[in-house]
Structure formats: structure tokens, C-alpha cells
Chain A
Amino acid sequence: MADGPTSGGPDERLESWLRRTAPALPYPATPNLIRRRPRQRRPAPAWAWAAAILVVALGALLAVPQARAGLVEFLQIGVVRVFLTAPTPTSVTSAATTAPNGTAAATGRTPPTPTASPEPTLLPSLLDLAGRTRLAEARQAVPFPIRLPAYPADLGAPDEVFVQDLDGSAVVLIWRDDTRPDRIRLSLHYLTSPMLGLKGLSEPPESLETALVNGREALWSAGGYVIQIKGGNWDFRRLIEGHVLIWTEDGITLRLETDLPLDEAVRIAESLK
């Protein structure tokens, strides 16, 4: 069925190699589509949404300043595209009375639930993630280099490493706080998925601004904020703590979550080796 080479020169060797290699891909068994019943779409548990989003994208779901909160638009950095819609009156009211800048987390209060949602969502720790592995194994598992911060000098190797597949490899590196091992000092996320999109409502962080990492545009959100994600049959809220820096390098989207200020976060980002 194959024709001759598409073009001469180096393409011939590449084509020959592709013809030998590509057909060997192991596919899942083909289902019987005649007898197959369409999958039933069931709502995901709220905690599942919260945990997933924390790992992969919600930290990257940067809220917009209040002045833009009523607009339908999106923000994008790297693979993450954030669709924002105008909050409903219920959401605005409830969020404004609870955690406009992350104080709910500090005080242990739980954001009230919007009227459409029966319960507020509790978000498991990053340390509860599935996909725990070791750094060496993670480096074997993903098709991109996993570089580590050389700054701060005492940081060393991550204490926890997680590899996930979200239509593309995702790696989460976690450094624990030496004085409080149950707390996370910082986390670094590598995201390679094709375009991620999410429609939702968001309360703003304390500030959102652009920054530069190795001369390229990055996004920085400071302070905790509440994000509400609604759609179809799911509805949950999540309190994002700490600050988040998102930037891209060589087609990889990186996300750093830390309590350190922006200049320190950028210094960490630019120290990856």
C-alpha cells in the first residue's frame, strides 16, 4: 500500500525508518463498535475535580483583576487556557464574604457553597497524589528533561515526585518544609498536554501580573484566592494558597508554587539545570 519516498535525501532514511517503526505500535484491542453501548457520563466527585485541578492546571488558572471579572474572555500561558465567565450573583456574594484574598485558609473557614452546589469541596494535599515515583524513574518515563532548581542552594532533590498522564506527561516535584514535613516548601509542575481548557468562575488573587523568566513572558499570581469551577453536572470551589509563577520553556509549561516573593520565584525558575 505504501508508495515510494516522498522526497529524496534525508527524508528517505526517515521514511524508511518510519515505515519499519510506526506499524509496531501496540494498540488497545479494537472494541466491537456495533455492539458497544455509549458510555454513560457520570458526574465526578467534587474532591476529584479539586485534586485534579490542583495538580495540573488550577494553580495555573489565573484569576483576572476585578475590573475584568465581568468579561467573557480567556487567559493563556503555555498549554493552559483559562476561560472566564461572569460570576453569577450568588457566587459573587458568597465569595466576597469568605475569601477574597485567601483569608479563609488562614483561619480555617470553609468558603460557603453556592446555591447550586450541595457541599463545599475539600482539596486533598498534593502529597496525596497518585503516580508517586522516584526522580530517576520519572526521568525515564517522560520525553523531556526534568531539570531541578539550583537555587536555593540548600534545596537539593525533590522529596516527592509524581508522574501523571494528562493527554501528555505531567510531572509534579515537591520539596517539603524541613521544619514541618507535612507542609510543602515549594512545588514545580511540568505540563506538556495539548491545549487544556476550562470554563469557570473565579475570584481574583491579591494580584496578577506579568513577569519575565529567562526573558520570556510569565504570569505571576500572588496571594490565595478562591476559584469556583462550574459546568454541566459539577460544581466546586478551591482555595489556592501561596503564589504561582507560570512560564514556558522549550514547549514545556512550568508552574512553580511557593510562598516566596516574585523575585525569588523568578530566581528559582531561572536556576533550573
Chain B
Amino acid sequence: MTLSGEAPLTESDWISQARRGDEAAWEALVGAHQAAVFRLAYLFLGDADDAADVAQDAFLRAQRALDRFDTSRPLRPWLLRITANLARNRLRSAGRYLAALQRLLRSEPRPVLRPQAPDSPAADAQTLWLAVRRLNPNEQQVIYLRYFLELSEAEMAAALDIPPGTVKSRLHRALRHLRSVVVDEFPFLREGLVDG
């Protein structure tokens, strides 16, 4: 992987420079991965501000632990693992609850879904997201990584710190559960699934 900048440094080079205290190198790494990190946090939390908080925290923790990171591995799965843990912890925390309560008092409540044209790919994706959120956090995580962030199974194995074979079995279980949720509760998605 080559990051932005004039020098065609590898990610490992950037990490080595960041370890030596090169802020520009660390900022380059953040810039390269912040979209994926933010999106995974958003998928779990459903709130942009909360997701930004978690994403920022994930990078802070990663920076502090950078000396222990194995530079022979890609950085993104590791960042996503940190992010998922933080997001799930936040979901469990009372702080998350309190933040949600605050949102409830907005004069114009956040819509359940961001408005999209009916039958548009975006609308289908949003409805799919609602269906996925009915799954347990472990199942959500594998589906987010695989289909929403489009990680390979090898990247997922790194992100989840499990063998590739276990990735397959977890995906299989998550898909089976998702299918039942769609069939039982999301008739519009079920039609799309049958047509597909």
C-alpha cells in the first residue's frame, strides 16, 4: 500500500516513522484509514458525533500502542478491531445511554432513517442496516466488516484475531440469523432477496 505524499513509502515505513515521533507520518496513517474506522463506528452506534468520538479514541489508543504493533501486518484490520471494541463498549455504557437521552430532546428528532428515494440502493441499504442491527454484536461485526466495509476474509481474520476458518463459520451463522430476521420482519428486503 502506498500512502499519499511524494515519497512512495510503504505503510510499514510510515509506521516506523510514526514510532519515532514523526507526527506527519502518523497523520498520514490516520488520513488513510479514518474513513473505514469512522464508518465502522457509525455502523455500530448510528450517530455521527458518537462515531467520531470513538474513531478519534481508536486512533489515540492505536498511537499509544503502536510500538507493539507487528509491522508485517496491515494496519487497517488492527484499527478496526480497536474501533469495534470501543464502539461496543460505548453501546454498553451508561454514557451511551445518557447521550441517547440527550438526542431524544432535540426539537426536531433525528429521523429513524436518513431520507432516501424509495426503492433506491441507498434506501435498500438503510433497511438492510436496520435488519443487521437486530443481530447480536458479534454477528453485526462480521457482517459490517464483510459486506459494508468489504473486507476480505483474510482481513477479517486479522481484524477479529481469529483463524480464517472461524471467520467462515461466524459469517455462516450471522447470515443464517440475518436471513431469518429478513424473512420475519423485513418483507421489502425479502422481496429483493427473492428477486436477486
Does B131 count as interface, using CB distance less than 8 angstroms? yes
B104 in the interface, Cβ–Cβ < 8 Å?
A: yes
| Closest-CB distance, B181 to chain A (whole angstroms) | 9
Interface stretch among A9-17, A93-101, A103-111? A9-17
- Interface of B, secondary structure class, is helix
Give per-residue flags for A232-254: 1 if the beta carbon is below 8 A from chain B beta carbons, else 0: 10100000000000000001000
Q: A11-B175, A14-B179, A141-B111 are in contact. Are A167 and B150 (CB under 8 A)?
A: no
Complex Cα–Cα for A14 and B38 (A):
26
Q: Are B59 and A33 in contact (CB under 8 A)?
A: yes
Interface size on B, residues (CB 8 A): 77
Which of A18, A20, A51 lies at the interface centre, i.e. has the most chain B CB atoms within 10 A of its CB?
Answer: A18
Interface stretch, picked from A63-71, A151-159, A196-204, A219-227, is A196-204
Q: Which residues of B contact A164 (CB under 8 A)?
A: 104, 109
Task: With CB as the reference atom, state the residue of chain B lying closest to A168.
Answer: B133
Contacting pair B122 A198 (CB below 8 A): no
* With contact pairs A34-B30, A36-B52, A39-B49 given, residues A165 and B125 touching in the complex (Cβ less than 8 Å): no
- In the complex, A231 has a CB within 8 A of chain B: yes
Residues on the A chain within 8 Å of B172, using CB: 6-7, 11
**A166 proximity list for chain B (CB < 8 A):** 100-101, 103-104
- CB-CB under 8 A from A168, the residues of chain B are 133
Q: Point out the residue from B56, B101, B171 that lies within 8 Å of A53, measured CB to CB.
A: B101
Are the CB atoms of A199 and B112 closer together than 8 Å? Answer: no
Nearest CB of A to B109, in Å: 4
Inter-chain CA distance A44–B105, complex, in Å, is 10
B178 touches A14 (CB 8 A): yes
Q: Which 5 A-B pairs have the closest CB atoms?
A: A24-B121, A28-B48, A52-B101, A25-B125, A22-B147
Chain B interface residues toward A at CB < 8 A: 27, 30-31, 34-35, 37-39, 42, 45-49, 51-53, 55-56, 59, 91-94, 96-98, 100-114, 116, 120-122, 124-131, 133-134, 143, 146-148, 150-153, 155, 168, 171-172, 175-176, 178-179, 185-186, 192-193, 196
Residue numbers of A with Cβ under 8 A of B are 1-3, 6-7, 10-11, 13-28, 30-34, 36, 38-39, 44, 48-49, 51-53, 55-56, 83, 130-131, 141-144, 163-170, 193-199, 231-232, 234, 251
Inter-chain pairs besides A28-B48, A83-B94, A198-B98, 9 sampled, C-beta below 8 Å: A7-B168, A25-B125, A25-B126, A31-B34, A33-B56, A44-B105, A48-B102, A51-B105, A144-B185
Could you list 18 examples of A-B contacts with CB < 8 Å? A3-B153, A14-B179, A18-B146, A23-B148, A25-B128, A25-B148, A26-B125, A26-B126, A28-B48, A33-B30, A48-B101, A56-B101, A130-B105, A131-B109, A143-B134, A165-B46, A193-B100, A231-B98
